[in-house]
Structure 1
Amino acid sequence: MPTHPPPEITRRPMGLRWAVAGSLTLHLIALGVLLPAFKTRPPAVPDQPVVITAVVVPPAEPPRTAPAPPVAPPAKPPAGPTPPARPAPVPTSQPGRAFMDAPPAPTAQEWAQAATYTLKNAKRYRHHWGQHLRSLMGTAHEGPDQGAVRFRIEIAPDGQLARLDTIWSTSPSVEQRARAAVRQMPPLPPTPTGLPLVFEKTIVFDPWTAETPPLYQNDCEPDPPQHGNRFVWDGRTPQVVAEQAVAVKLDPAAYEECLKQLPQDSIEAEAASDKRQQEQWASPTLGR
C-alpha cells in the first residue's frame, strides 16, 4: 500500500494567542461594568400622608373633701319681752358711687353781715342765698339725679321770696329738689339796700362741683365799661355815633369808706379765683 506522508502541522504564532486572550478579557470587563446598569430598579414608593392623632387627656378630678359636719341649731333665747327693733342707719353714701356732702348753711352772724353789704348788687347776700339753698338739698350722688338749674330770683325788701323763675335746667329732679329746698328756707333778713333784690343763680347738684366763696377785694373798683358797637343804627332815627364809655371813679373819701366795708377774703376764694384765671387765660400749649 502506498504510504501517505503525515499531514503537516502548521503552528500559529504566539502573538496571535495573546491578542485573542486580551480581547476576551476586555469584553468580560465591559460586560461586568455595564451589566448592573441594565438591571431593573424597584418602583418608587409614593409618599404617604402623615396622620396626626390627637390624644385627649381627661381633666383630673378635683380632690374630694369630706362633707362638713352638721351645724347644731342655735339655742333658743329664754322666753321674755321682745326688745324694740332699732331703725337701720341711713347711709350718707352709696358704695361704688361718687358723692359730695351738702355744705353747711350760713350762720346767723354771716346772714347779719350779708344784710349790710351793699356793694355789687348785694354780692354777699346773693352768695349766702345760694349756699343756704344748696345745703338744704342734701348729699349729691353720681348718677341720674345729678344736674344743674339756673333760677331768676326776686327777693322783697323784707327778705321774703317774691318770685322764682327757672331759666334752664339739665335735670327735672334737680329742679324739683331745689324748689323744695326754697320752700324750706327760714325767714331771711331784709335786703341790704332796702329795695327788691333781683339776681340770677346757678345751683349745681353733683359730686364734683362745690360752691366757692367769692372775692371781695375788688368790689370798691368801678365796673369796667361795656364796649359795644358805637355806630349801630336802627334805620329810622337820625344816625349818630355814641360816646365812648369811660369808667367812673370814686372820690378818695368815698373810696376809703368803701374799703372799710370789704370783708376778709378766704384762702378758698383766692384759690378759686386763681384757678378761674388760669383756665381762662392759660395758653393751650402750656405744660406740653
Structure 2
Amino acid sequence: MAAPSAPTAEEWAFAAKYTNKNSKGYRYSWGQQVRSMMGTAVEGPDQGVVRFRVEIAPDGTLARLDTLWTTSAVAEQLARKAIENMPPLPPTPTGKPLIFEKTISFTPFASDAPPIYKDDCLPDPPMFRNPFAWDGRSAQVRDETAPVAKLDPQAMEECLRQLPQDSIEAEMAHDQRVMDQWGQNELGH
C-alpha cells in the first residue's frame, strides 16, 4: 500500500484551531503526517504496527516520544525516522502541551481513516461503575452514578460552530468499523 498523502495546509490549519476531544484533528493530522513519511508498506516480515505516547509542546515541537509497544522493529524505526524529519508543526490548539497515544500501522491493508466530528459537542457518557462493588471493609452502600452534566446553550453553540463537515471517507470508515464489530454471523445464531 502506498503511503497516504500528507495533510494539506488547510487540514493543518483546521487541526491548529480544533480544541474539542483533546485536539482530535491535530492528533489525526500528526499520525497521517508520520505515516505519509514512512513510505510504501509491503506485505512481509517488515510490516507491523507501533504505538507511541507523544507529547507535543505548545509551540508544535516534539517534547517527548515513548514507544509503548511494537510488532515490528522496522516499522518502529521507520516511524521514528519520519518523526525526526517532520516539517515544523503549528502550535497546539489549546496553547498547552498536547499528550496523546497514537498507533501507526505500517501494513499494506490498513490505513488510519479520518475521524468523525459530529458527536464531539456531546458530553462523554459516564463510565460504567458496578454499583454493587464492595471493598470488603467499608459499609455496603450502593454507588449512584453521577448525572451527565449538560453544556450550557452558549457553550454548545460555540462548540457546534467549530465542527467541520464530516467527509464521506470518515463516514464509510465509521460504518465499516461498526459492521466489523457488530455484523458477525455468529451474533445472529
**TM-score under structure 1 normalisation?**
0.61
CA contact (8 A) 1:227 1:245 kept: no
* 1:172 matches 2:73: yes
* 1:202 matches 2:103: yes
Tell me the C-alpha RMSD between the 2 structures.
2.0
What is residue 30 of structure 2 aligned with on the other side?
129
Structure 2 unaligned regions, length at least 5? none
Q: Which amino acid aligns with 1:213?
A: P
Cα distance in 2 between the residues matched to 1:199 and 1:246: 27
CA contact (8 A) 1:225 1:247 kept: yes
* 1:104 matches 2:10: no
Aligned with residue 140 of structure 1, among 34, 41, 53:
41
Structure 1 unaligned regions, length at least 5? 1-99
Bigger relative contact order, structure 1 or 2 (CA pairs below 8 A, ≥6 apart): 2
After superposition, what is the alpha-carbon deviation per residue over 1:235-256, rounded to whole angstroms, capped at 9, x for unaligned?
5666654331322221222212
Cα distance in 1 between the residues matched to 2:65 and 2:21: 21
Cα distance in 1 between the residues matched to 2:141 and 2:92: 40
Q: Which amino acid aligns with 1:242?
A: D
- Structure in which a larger fraction of residues adopt helix: 2
* 1:251 matches 2:152: yes
CA contact (8 A) 1:226 1:245 kept: no
Aligned with residue 187 of structure 1, among 88, 91, 106:
88
Cα distance in 1 between the residues matched to 2:35 and 2:92: 20
Cα distance in 2 between the residues matched to 1:153 and 1:265: 26
Aligned with residue 280 of structure 1, among 178, 181, 185:
181
Cα distance in 2 between the residues matched to 1:259 and 1:110: 18
Q: Which amino acid aligns with 1:136?
A: M
Larger of the two Rg values belongs to structure: 1
Cα distance in 2 between the residues matched to 1:212 and 1:235: 46
Q: How many residues align?
A: 189
Cα distance in 1 between the residues matched to 2:132 and 2:95: 38
Per the TM alignment, residue 228 of structure 1 is displaced from its structure 2 partner at its CA by 1.4
